A and B are shown apart, each in its own frame.
Chain A
Amino acid sequence: MASRETPPERANGGAIMTHDEALTRLPDFLYGNLSRDEHQTIALMLETDSELRRAYEEEKLLDGLLRTQKWIHARPDFTTHVLARAGLPVPHGETVLEGFLERLSAYAPIGTLAVVVLFYGEAIGTRLWSMWRGVLDWAGTAVGVSSLHTSPAFAATSLALLTVAVVISFELGRRGQSSF
């Protein structure tokens, strides 16, 4: 039996480890959670330290016993009993219509937006364009530039606003979908 206090010879660059240290690391050795050096050191110690080897066999046995205990299943009506005790109705599964309505409601926000754009897109666009030009004309008059709405800055600003509107629309649609 190897000495408890004397570390084993360093072999192939393996880590030095006492008997008691090796004992505490047996579970990690079993699961391969050690560094290569530590694993190699314990493997060598197991060849020479009979007490450590016995402890390792026990660790394997106990681990196997703990992992393979009988799994018990609840009675089939367990959930029904819980729901009854909670004062809840017992659901009878989701019907096709319920599932369809649920998915439909998830797409309602973005669907509504699409319908509005489809029927009133041109009118809304024209009106918004007109309003925006009015704002720009007012701003141009204020700063003394008469053709602000035809300038590159106007085009860039419009494009940026459109992008923001699209992003907000998608985000609203996504949130609406995930909230169901």
Chain B
Amino acid sequence: MALAEDELLRRLRRSDARAFAQLVDNYKDMVINLIVRMRGIAEDTEDLAQEVFLRVWKGLPEFRGDAKLSTWIYRITINLCIAEGKTARARAQFLPAEDVALWSHPSMHTESGNPYSEEAPLKARLARLIPQMPEKYRTAVTLYYLKNLSYFEIGEIMDIPMGTVKSYLFRGKAWLRERLLPNEPTVERL
């Protein structure tokens, strides 16, 4: 039976292995997808995700519960991705073709009248572009779209005000738009 977060946290603080297993089960996919968005697909993605959970386990005695457990885990993930230092820019240059295909989604909805009829290739290009974004934009855009986190939650994870989150999101999307749809100079100059 799944435990509520406060109950889970209480058991984790008692070094309950079963509670830790549940925590890993609850957050493993999210952590892996967050890492992939931040760094691009890489062979060591799962190793890095495991490292996130080891840090969570070791850090539990110091976790005061000021933020949600999920916020804390995402913060550890983001910090680890940044500290790990393998830039997505370099990684994306060597992204194998099959990895790009992994990101494409053939059932992508195409709206009539949309000037961009080939959306699957666009999606693959987007997947390669995201890891190359400036770090702060990448983090904000990834958190916002991966888990529908609120501006407030993203601000807590990145330790910035909500207004700055909105600004990063806006500029991050402008950065993507300029590279993904380069014929349309719209908001990047703002």
Contacts and interface: CB of A to CB of B under 8 A. Distances in A.
A20 B186 contact: no
Contacts of A94: 1, 18
Interface residues of B, number: 48
Indicate the size class of the contact surface on chain A: 35 or more
A64 B37 CA distance: 16
Contacts of B1: 94
Given A24-B190, A58-B181, A71-B33, A85 B54 contact: yes
B161 to A, nearest CB: 17
Contacts of B169: 27
A66 B29 CA distance: 17
Contacts of B18: 91, 94
Contacts, number: 119
A179 B16 CA distance: 13
B123 A78 contact: no
Contact of A69 (B32, B53, B57, B123): B123
A86 B20 contact: yes
Contact of B49 (A58, A70, A78): A78
A67 B181 contact: no
A83 interface: yes
B85 interface: no
B127 interface: yes
B57 A58 contact: no
A72 B25 CA distance: 14
A10 interface: no
Contacts of B180: 62, 65
Interface in B167-190: 169-170, 173, 176-177, 180-181, 184, 186-187, 190
Interface in B90-113: 102-105, 108-109, 111
28 contacts: A23-B187, A23-B190, A24-B190, A27-B173, A54-B115, A58-B184, A59-B173, A61-B181, A62-B181, A64-B108, A70-B103, A72-B29, A72-B36, A72-B102, A73-B29, A78-B28, A79-B21, A79-B24, A79-B28, A82-B28, A83-B17, A83-B20, A86-B20, A88-B20, A89-B17, A90-B17, A91-B17, A91-B21
Interface of A: 20, 23-24, 27, 51, 54-55, 57-62, 64-75, 78-79, 81-83, 85-86, 88-91, 94, 179
Interface of B: 1, 10, 17-18, 20-21, 24-25, 28-29, 32-33, 36-37, 46, 49-50, 53-54, 57, 102-105, 108-109, 111, 114-116, 119, 122-123, 126-127, 141, 145, 169-170, 173, 176-177, 180-181, 184, 186-187, 190
Given A57-B114, A82-B54, A83-B17, 13 more contacts: A23-B190, A24-B190, A27-B169, A61-B114, A61-B181, A69-B127, A69-B145, A74-B32, A75-B46, A79-B28, A82-B50, A83-B20, A91-B18
